[in-house]
Amino acid sequence: MTNDKSPRKSFLPVPNDSHFPLANLPWGIFRRAPGAQPTVGVALGDQIVDLHHLALKGYVTTGHSPGLFTTGRLNELAGEGPDLGRQIRSQLQKILAEDCPTLRDQPSLHKDLFYPQKSAIMDLPFASGGFTDFYSSINHASNVGRLFRDKDNPLLPNWRHLPVAYNGRASTLVPSGTPIPRPKGQISPGPGLPPVYGPSQKLDFELELGYYIGVENPHGTPIPVDRASEHIFGLVLVNDWSARDHQAWEYVPLGPFLSKSFATSVSPWVVSPDALKPFLRPMASQDPKPLAYLCEGQRQVYDVTLEVWLTPAQTGVPQKIATTNTQELYWSLSQQIAHHTVNGCKLQIGDLLATGTISGPTPQSLGSLLEMTLNGTQALQLPGGLSRRFLEDLDEVALVAYGQGQDYRIGFGEVRGKILPAPV
Q: Which residues are catalytic?
A: 140
Helices and strands: H and E segment counts in the chain: 11, 25
Under a CB-based contact definition with an 8 Å cutoff, are residues 262 and 241 in contact? yes
Calculate the CA dihedral of residues 185, 189, 194, 200 and round it to 10 degrees.
Answer: 0
Residues in the chain, total: 424
Closest CA to 227 of 296, 133, 130, 132: 296
Report how far residue 242's alpha carbon sits from residue 171's, in angstroms, rounded to the nearest whole number.
Answer: 16
Report how far residue 257's alpha carbon sits from residue 302's, in angstroms, rounded to the nearest whole number.
Answer: 30
Residues in Cβ contact with 154 at an 8 Å cutoff, skipping those fewer than 6 apart: 141, 142, 143, 144, 145, 146
CA atoms within 13 A on the CB side of 238: 30
Closest CA to 268 of 4, 53, 65, 73: 73
Count Cβ atoms below 10 Å from residue 235 Cβ, excluding itself. 26
Count Cβ atoms below 10 Å from residue 11 Cβ, excluding itself. 17
On the 0-12 / 13-18 / 19+ scale of CB atoms within 10 A, 44 is buried
Report how far residue 361's alpha carbon sits from residue 319's, in angstroms, rounded to the nearest whole number.
Answer: 21
Report how far residue 219's alpha carbon sits from residue 343's, in angstroms, rounded to the nearest whole number.
Answer: 10
Judged by DSSP in three states, 376 sits in coil
Residue 411 pairs in a beta bridge with 402
